[in-house]
């Protein structure tokens, strides 16, 4: 029997958007060819849907429906509104690198505060430079065949390319801030970081909306390579507008004896997905991967983590917490892969979800794929409600019901938040969590 595949009309709309955006996309020759191939991959497969196992719980053909038109270059008014939004998320003592509607904004960034051993360039300039023979490689990755990463490669307008020298010890966090000012538009950014051997770096990413921004879409990718004995702290804060969509990807390669500690907090966006692909490329590396979803109303938050152990003597820990209220939906998919040569691997993950209402939903799917025989691996998942006896205890001591719930929720997510090493960054994360708790009805 012959079966004819009918493509959704949204794919045709995306083709029109790509054609209209060509004039804004930096890079010619090999760069343009990579973009064309990446978009052809997206056009063939379309938005991911529930029949794709990795997207089973986050059907973008239902939740996103179509790709929004590319945001225009920010004008003076957009930059002014972005500046006002930045005042709310300052990381004390940090070095800020700002992207507005998918374009780097030097006038809002702290380039003069960069420390010795740090080199920052823009993706736009590197893709346009004829002197950079390998510029097309900035849009390539062999870590995943995910179709939304292909769409990012096709449409990326800008980002930051950061190099940190060997043995550089940065005392200031590098803070990449994504600000959206335009409604009903999409932005595509890609940032690349190469951390030298023995370097010490704290990276913070923030996603926020300026006044008047709503219904927008964000598609971001970060490609991070950490050299031997490097120590990288990586924190993400998603506080987008409540009706926005955010699809973000991290592709991380760890080398020998690297220490990688990452934490992600999502409180904004009606639809969000953070997918991280972490690969161990050198022995003795250690990864601590932590996250929290704080969701309410009809928010849908997805955290999908793939940890690939390819070499021996490495350790990974995943701790994820979700607090889900009203009719919100949290998704956690965690996979630990142990390749045949990765003997003596130590990998564990634990996910817990706290449901605050009868309409709240949490789907947890921890997985192990083990092809070696001398390993220590495990996973666990729990879903439950607030302990009524503890609530009664706190209320009997004078706390209101909301105050008692907030105290228990803070204790529930505290283990994941305490993994953040930088005190200042940890306070920023705690503040974001407190704002979410204060906004609960």
pLDDT in tens, 58-112: 999 999 999 999 999 999 999 999 999 998 888 888 999 999 999 999 999 999 9
List the single range of 13-17, 349-353, 361-365 with lowest mean pLDDT: 13-17
What confidence score (pLDDT) does residue 415 get?
Answer: 87
Torsion on CA atoms 13, 19, 24, 28, rounded to nearest 10? 140
The tokens of 382 are what?
């729990």
| Cα four-point dihedral sign 119, 124, 126, 131 | negative
CB 150 within 8 A of CB 91: no
Q: How far out from the chain centre does Cα 316 lie?
A: 18
Q: Please tell me the distance from the alpha carbon of residue 305 to that of residue 92, in angstroms, as a whole number.
A: 29
Phi and psi, residue 338, nearest 5°: -115, 110
User: Where is average pLDDT lowest: 10-14, 154-158, 327-331, 422-426?
Assistant: 10-14
The burial class, CB within 10 Å (0-12 / 13-18 / 19+), for 144 is middle
CA distance 262 to 231: 11
Half-sphere exposure of 48 (CA within 13 A, CB side): 16
Cβ atoms < 10 Å from Cβ of 300 = 22
Pairing verdict, β 315-324 and 174-180: unpaired
- Residue 429: closest CA among 439, 419, 311: 419
Q: pTM of this prediction?
A: 0.94
Evaluate whether 169 touches 200 at the Cβ level (below 8 Å): yes
Of 8-22, 218-232, 427-441, the range with the lowest mean pLDDT is: 8-22
* Backbone Cα Rg of the chain: 21
- Cα separation, 302 vs 246, whole angstroms: 10
Share of the chain above pLDDT 70, in %: 96
pLDDT digits (tens, 9 = 90+) for 384-397: 999 999 999 999 99
Please tell me the predicted confidence (pLDDT) of residue 6.
41
Which segment of 41-55, 184-198, 413-427 scores lowest on mean pLDDT? 413-427
d(CA 412, CA 365): 20
Average of per-residue pLDDT values in the chain: 94
Distance CA 170, CA 95 (A): 10
Joined together, the tokens standing for residue 86 give 């930045």
Q: In the chain, what percentage of residues exceed pLDDT 90?
A: 86
Residues 44-62 have pLDDT tens digits of 999 999 999 999 999 999 9
Average pLDDT over residues 378-389: 95
What's the pLDDT score for residue 133?
61
pLDDT tens-digit map of 211-236: 999 999 999 999 999 999 999 999 99
> Which residues are 384's β-sheet partners?
354
Question: What does the pLDDT read at residue 182?
Answer: 97
Which is more confidently placed, 144 or 276? Answer: 276
What are the residue ranges spanned by the domains of the chain?
71-385
Phi and psi for 10 in degrees, rounded to 5? -60, -30
pLDDT in tens, 2-11: 444 444 445 5
pLDDT in tens, 270-289: 999 999 999 999 999 999 99
Q: What is the reported pLDDT for 2?
A: 46
pLDDT in tens, 285-308: 999 999 999 999 999 999 999 999
Please tell me the distance from the alpha carbon of residue 71 to that of residue 84, in angstroms, as a whole number. Answer: 19
């Amino acid at each position: 029997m012959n079966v004819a595949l009918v493509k959704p009309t949204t794919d045709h709309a995306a083709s029109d958007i790509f054609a209209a955006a060509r004039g804004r996309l930096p890079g010619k020759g090999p760069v343009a060819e990579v973009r064309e191939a990446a978009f052809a991959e997206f056009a063939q497969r379309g938005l991911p849907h529930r029949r794709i196992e990795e997207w089973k719980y986050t059907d973008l053909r239902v939740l996103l429906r179509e790709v929004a038109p590319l945001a225009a270059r920010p004008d003076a008014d957009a930059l002014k509104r972005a500046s006002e939004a930045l005042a709310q998320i300052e990381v004390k003592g940090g070095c800020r690198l700002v992207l507005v509607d998918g374009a780097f904004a030097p006038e809002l960034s702290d380039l003069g505060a960069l420390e010795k051993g740090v080199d920052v360039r823009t993706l736009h300039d590197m893709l346009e430079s004829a002197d950079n023979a390998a510029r097309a490689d900035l849009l390539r990755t062999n870590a995943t065949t995910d179709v939304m990463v292909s769409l990012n490669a096709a449409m990326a307008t800008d980002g930051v390319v950061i190099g940190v020298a060997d043995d550089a010890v940065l005392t200031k966090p590098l803070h990449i801030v994504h600000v959206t000012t335009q409604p009903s538009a999409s932005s595509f950014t890609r940032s690349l970081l190469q951390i030298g051997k023995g370097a010490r770096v704290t990276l913070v990413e923030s996603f926020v909306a300026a006044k008047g921004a709503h219904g927008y879409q964000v598609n971001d990718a970060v490609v991070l390579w950490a050299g031997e004995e490097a120590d990288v702290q990586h924190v993400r804060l998603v506080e987008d507008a409540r009706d926005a969509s955010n699809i973000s990807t991290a592709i991380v390669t760890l080398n020998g004896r690297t220490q990688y500690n990452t934490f992600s907090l999502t409180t904004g966006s009606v639809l969000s997905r953070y997918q991280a692909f972490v690969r161990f490329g050198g022995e003795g590396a250690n990864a601590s991967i932590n996250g929290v979803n704080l969701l309410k109303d009809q928010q849908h938050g997805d955290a999908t983590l793939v940890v690939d152990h390819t070499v021996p003597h490495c350790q990974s820990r995943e701790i994820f917490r979700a607090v889900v209220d009203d009719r919100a939906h949290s998704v956690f998919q965690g996979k630990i892969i142990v390749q045949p040569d990765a003997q003596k691997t130590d990998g564990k993950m634990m996910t817990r979800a706290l449901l605050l209402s009868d309409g709240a939903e949490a789907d947890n799917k921890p997985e192990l794929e083990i092809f070696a025989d001398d390993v220590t691996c495990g996973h666990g998942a729990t879903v439950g409600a607030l302990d009524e006896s503890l609530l009664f205890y706190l209320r009997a001591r004078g706390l209101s019901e909301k105050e008692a719930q907030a105290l228990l929720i803070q204790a529930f997510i505290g283990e994941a938040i305490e993994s953040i090493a930088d005190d200042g960054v940890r306070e920023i994360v705690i503040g974001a969590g407190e704002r979410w708790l204060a906004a609960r009805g």
